Amino acid sequence: MAQASHTATIRRTGGRLSQRKIAPWLFLAPGLFMFTVYVLWPIVESVTLSFYDWNGLYNADGAFTGRFVGMGNYAELMRDPAFETSLWNNLKWLVLYMLALPIGLMIAIFLNQSVRGIRLYKSLFFFPFVISQVVVGLMFAWFYAPNFGLFFLLTEWITGKGTAILADPDLVTYGIIAAGLWPQIAYVMILYLTGLNNVAPDQIEAARLDGAKGWRMLWYVVLPQLRPATFIAVIVTVIGALRSFDLVSIMTKGGPFGESRVLSYYMFEMALGEYGFRMGYGAAIAVVLFLIMMVFISGFIWKMWRDETER
Amino acid sequence: MVHKISGALTLGAALMLSASAFAQDKRVVTWNADYDPIPLAAAEALIADFEAANPDIDIQMTNFDHEAYKNAIRNFLTANPPDLANWYAANRMRPFVEAGLFADISDVWAENGLTEALASSVPSSTIDGKQYAIPYTYYQWGIYYNRDAYKAAGVEPPGPEGVSWEQFLANCEAFKAAGIDCLTTSSLEQWPVAGIFDYLSLRTNGYQFHSDLAAGKISWTSPEVRAVFDEFAKLQPFVSAGHAAIKWQDAAALLVQGKAANFVMGNFAVGVFKEGGMTNDNLGFMVFPEITPGIPRAEEAPTDTIHLTSGAKNPEDAKKFLAFMASAEAQSKWNAAVGQLPTNKNATVDPADPFLSAGFAALSTATGGIAQFWDRDADAEYAKAGMEGFQQFLVQPDQLEAILERLEQTRLRLYPQ
């Protein structure tokens, strides 16, 4: 009798154990399925495609018309001056986009006060992030436009000779980055505003009693408490800088003569543009962009993992 | 019968099409097109004519957005081919011909005597000795000018014969002194600049040389190509500043407002000029001036075409419709409605339209040949590299050596010697 009940317990625990093993996988299954189909599989496909020379067409029988070229696409990338320009431009984007952090923080601190109608001012400052990137691009393209653009007329009035930023190969990338910063600053600002809500008032008070104010207050008391917000702001800014496609496409189409191209736009041009349809070459650019993003993404994941385990 | 859909809905609409086809006794011919409203209405009128003459055939057209079509055609030709599809002549159709997606229709050409009637378009419809396209319309390129701007600068407007190259450049000096851009263009879209280059090249070295250059047979560092850029350099100081940041419609606005005097453009721009308020009185057209004396005059006239697909389900009736689209009557009617030129030499052109008449005269007397335009004569990747070079030359003429060197490297990579 005792023997029997003992084995029953074991059997039950065994069942519970396997349940414990299976259940998480069951819950993960839908997500894993989506992740595999929409993320992992396309990555594998892109990497495979980057070893082919293919114009995107299947023949009448539905057979793939590509030709295997091994590392040929990558070898060509290394010699391609347009790729080099795009890479440098991506770097400019990454560095200059970081300006969104201090400026966004400044505006957030400025707006973090209670006066009449502050909600209205906050939403006005947030406005550029709400409108589509395409609209931002169009507005700035008109702002910079030769002959009638406000910026052009302004430079004409000051220097006597108008500067058409988007037609100037040396200035064009900075002109587009400035347009991109406008909504990005608003985004960072909103992140910091929510962060500022969570700053502990007792610590501020304690610091004030100890005589801290101005920059020292900001640097030693407020900023450390804003670390989670800063972390998210850095992530979205880096990603925003690397996927800067829409503005380039709307404002210059990569021009003049390719001087404002970034990797994502060059990839589009090569794979899907009117004169492109070099799928393999486009895929090779995509792989390079993916590897660059992986550097940042791994960094973020490593940091998050470290924070979780420390807790 | 016409279905207006956007690219994303293609599959659903195609399913509906096959369902509706099932319900009818008529033999169905499907046709995928990319028409704007005016050409679409003209095409519908042609379909009605054809169906009246052939009551047992039903032409079912699916119309796409013009830009979306360029991507859609790559999918539907393999996934769900219609019987007929719109596209462009010369090198632009080559990838589809080489992938075996467009069918050989030499028999339609032979049976209907088209090599005779469509003589000027034979080269651009032929690949490896076989015809793959029915050209049904083209339009001339040339210099459109604003007579008021000429008056404002005190320059004698060109007569019907145009002006000489020296005179044109001298006029440019006068325009510059009057604060008017002698020549406007847009290089935001790079193709308008390719139009200027094409003409300089055609006028300096002639049709055959230009055609060889587009085919990658000529070195960019050859003295003949340098000669083209020498002429380009004479023009460069007179081109609207900021051309790299404006669309061609913005450049058209400069011409309309009299801030620019000349614009090298295709005839489709006339509609835009007239919408901007220009009339036949102050808008003028002339052929591009002669540069090297004695070279037979060649012109640019990009041709639009219809193709039979390899996956066509009803090729017999589709060929009947193709023969109809090649006919003088159909082409006269469609082109009159759209304001372009028929490719059939027996077709008629509205004599009341000065630009069409001038274009028809210019093309029918172009003994040098008819070029398709840089991005249709040259392979896509080569065309793009070229246009970037032309654009850079307009912005930085001192970089000529670097530009030619880069173009030459591209040529050697794409066309290994």
Q: What's the pLDDT score for residue B360?
A: 86
Q: What's the pLDDT score for residue A284?
A: 95
A89 and A140 belong to one structural domain: yes
What residues contact B311, with CB distance under 8 A and at least 6 apart? A60, B77, B78, B81, B101
| Across A115-143, average pLDDT | 90
User: What's the pLDDT tens digit per position in B184-204?
Assistant: 999 888 899 999 999 999 999
d(CA B2, CA B63): 7
Q: What is the CATH number of the domain that holds A154?
A: 1.10.3720.10
Q: What's the pLDDT score for residue B7?
A: 46
From A53-62, B163-172, B234-243, the region with the lowest mean pLDDT: A53-62
| Across B103-113, average pLDDT | 94
In this structure, the strands spanning B27-33 and B57-63 are: parallel
| Contact between chains at A59 and B259 (C-beta distance less than 8 A) | no
ipTM rounded to 2 decimals: 0.76
Q: Cis before residue B55, ω within 30 degrees of 0?
A: no
Residue A187 lies in a domain: yes
Q: Exposed, middle or buried: residue B12 (CB in 10 Å: 0-12, 13-18, 19+)?
A: exposed
Residue A297 lies in a domain: no
d(CA B157, CA B170): 13
Residue A55 lies in a domain: no
User: Quick one: which H or E segment has residue A52?
Assistant: strand A52-53
CB contact at 8 A, A268 and A253: no
A111 and A183 belong to one structural domain: yes
Give the closest residue to B289 by CA, choosing from B372, B172, B131: B172
| B-chain residues near A257 (CB < 8 A) | 244, 388-389, 391-392, 395
Is A3's pLDDT higher than 60?
Answer: no
Question: CATH number of B141-300+373-414: 3.40.190.10, 3.30.470.20, 3.30.360.10, 3.40.309.10?
Answer: 3.40.190.10
Q: What's the pLDDT score for residue B9?
A: 46
Nearest-neighbour CA in chain A from B392: distance (Å):
6
Task: Determine which of B71, B188, B190, B313 to mutate to test the interface with A (most A C-beta atoms within 10 Å).
Answer: B188
Is B19's pLDDT higher than 70?
Answer: no
| Across B81-87, average pLDDT | 95
Looking at the partner chain, which of B101, B189, B396 has a beta carbon nearest the beta carbon of A59?
Answer: B101
State how far Cα A169 lies from the chain centre. 25
| Across B88-117, average pLDDT | 91
Q: What's the pLDDT score for residue A1?
A: 44
Residue A286 lies in a domain: no
Domain count, chain A: 2
What residues contact B351, with CB distance under 8 A and at least 6 apart? B357
Angstrom distances, CA of residue B395 to CA of A167, A262, B188:
8, 21, 12
Is A198's pLDDT higher than 70?
Answer: yes
The beta strand positions in B47-188, using DSSP E, are 57-63, 84-88, 126-127, 130-131, 134-138, 141-146, 181-184
What residues contact B368, with CB distance under 8 A and at least 6 apart? B202, B206, B207, B295, B296, B297, B298, B299
Residue A160 lies in a domain: yes
Is B53's pLDDT higher than 90?
Answer: yes
Domain span including residue A129: 81-277
Indicate the domain borders of chain B.
2-138+303-347, 141-300+373-414
Give the closest residue to B102 by CA, choosing from B78, B72, B129: B78
Is B6's pLDDT higher than 50?
Answer: no
Q: What's the pLDDT score for residue B11?
A: 47
Angstrom distances, CA of residue B414 to CA of B46, B215, B408, B409:
42, 10, 10, 9
Other CB atoms within 10 Å distance of the CB of residue B348: 15
- Restricting to A residues 237-256, those with a Cβ less than 8 Å away from any Cβ of B are 252-253, 255-256
Is B5's pLDDT higher than 70?
Answer: no
Nearest-neighbour CA in chain B from A177: distance (Å):
16
Residue A285 one-letter amino acid: I
A108 and A227 belong to one structural domain: yes
CB of A144 less than 8 A from some CB of B? yes
B45: which 2 tokens? 């009128």
| Across B273-278, average pLDDT | 91
Nearest-neighbour CA in chain A from B95: distance (Å):
8
Q: What's the pLDDT score for residue B144?
A: 95
- Are B2-138+303-347 and B141-300+373-414 the same fold in CATH? yes
Residue A237 lies in a domain: yes
What residues contact B254, with CB distance under 8 A and at least 6 apart? A147, B181, B184, B240, B260
- CATH code reported for the domain at B2-138+303-347: 3.40.190.10
Average pLDDT of chain B is: 89
Looking up tokens 């923080």 gives A105
A102 and A212 belong to one structural domain: yes
CB contact at 8 A, A76 and A281: yes
The fraction of chain B above a pLDDT of 70, given in percent, is 94
| A-chain residues near B245 (CB < 8 A) | 141, 144-146, 164-167, 252, 256
Angstrom distances, CA of residue A69 to CA of A50, A199, A291, B71, B248:
9, 57, 21, 25, 39
Looking at the partner chain, which of B70, B99, B413 has a beta carbon nearest the beta carbon of A274?
Answer: B70
A87 and A183 belong to one structural domain: yes
A37 and A172 belong to one structural domain: no
Q: Exposed, middle or buried: residue A102 (CB in 10 Å: 0-12, 13-18, 19+)?
A: exposed
Q: What's the pLDDT score for residue A79?
A: 87
A130 and A176 belong to one structural domain: yes
State how far Cα B253 lies from the chain centre. 21
